[in-house]
């Protein structure tokens, strides 16, 4: 079973990782880094696959925004809702937002699209996107790899406990994912309170 799983990952793991990082991909890259620690994948090929997927993904979204931006705003409400927040990020960070876009949870796809709708130079985006994809692929793949290394300091036979370590890693990733939504809900409390007051006033003054 171990050898079958290893052979399967060696055949399919890298292109699945490429597709995953073409979209969002933090979680799949962390898991790939851990599997590289276990010897199922090569850590350098993991980084290369993630670099290619994340770089080409954001280049694709940027040029989609440049060519079809108004259409996307009209027909995709999720992009339209984030449009104003994305513009604020662009105003705050300027050209650097092209570098940090893949580190902003929930805006990984939206920011390149909106940057494509602005006069932001294509060549500048390409260079910043390449640097961002390189750093991102190293940071998140090494996060999973070092998780395995750290477990090895406390567990003598890491291979024996791999399923449990994968479960623990998945739990950690899930907790970070949930914390994002909790933090967002907490930040939106004043807005929800204002909306409730407006509804109450409308009911009192029909």
Same domain, 104 and 188: no
Q: Measuring CA to CA, which residue among 48, 180, 103 is closest to residue 112?
A: 103
User: Quick one: 84 and 181 in the same domain?
Assistant: no
* pLDDT recorded at residue 191: 55
Asked whether residue 176 falls in the same domain as residue 91, the answer is no
Last residue of a domain, one of 154, 179, 194: 154
Give residue 5's pLDDT.
54
Number of domain units in the chain = 2
Residue 146, SS3?
helix
Residue that finishes a domain, picked among 116, 136, 154: 154
Provide the residue range defining the domain that includes 190. Answer: 161-205
Instruction: Give the residue ranges of the chain where pLDDT is below 70.
Output: 1-11, 77-78, 106, 158-159, 161, 176-177, 179-206
Over the stretch 108-155, which tens digit does the pLDDT of each residue have? 788 888 888 888 889 999 999 999 999 999 999 999 899 888 877 777
Cα–Cα separations (whole angstroms), residue 97 to 91, 125, 163: 9, 10, 38
């Amino acid at each position: 079973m171990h050898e079958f799983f290893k052979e399967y990952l060696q055949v399919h793991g890298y292109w699945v990782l490429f597709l995953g990082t073409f979209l969002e991909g933090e979680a799949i890259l962390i898991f790939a880094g851990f599997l590289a620690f276990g010897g199922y994948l090569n850590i350098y090929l993991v980084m290369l696959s993630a670099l290619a997927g994340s770089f080409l993904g954001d280049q694709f979204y940027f040029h989609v925004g440049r060519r079809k931006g108004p259409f996307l705003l009209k027909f995709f409400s999720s992009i339209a809702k984030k449009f104003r927040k994305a513009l604020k990020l662009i105003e705050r960070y300027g050209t650097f937002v092209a570098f940090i876009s893949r580190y902003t949870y929930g805006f990984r796809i939206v920011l390149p699209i909106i940057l494509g709708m602005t006069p932001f130079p294509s060549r500048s985006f390409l260079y910043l996107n390449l640097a961002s994809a390189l750093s991102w692929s190293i940071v998140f793949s090494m996060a999973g790899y070092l998780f395995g290394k750290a477990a090895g300091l406390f567990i003598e036979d890491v291979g024996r406990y791999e399923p449990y370590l994968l479960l623990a890693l998945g739990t950690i990733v899930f907790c970070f994912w949930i914390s994002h939504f909790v933090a967002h809900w907490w930040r939106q409390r004043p807005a929800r309170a204002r909306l409730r007051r407006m509804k109450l006033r409308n009911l009192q003054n029909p």
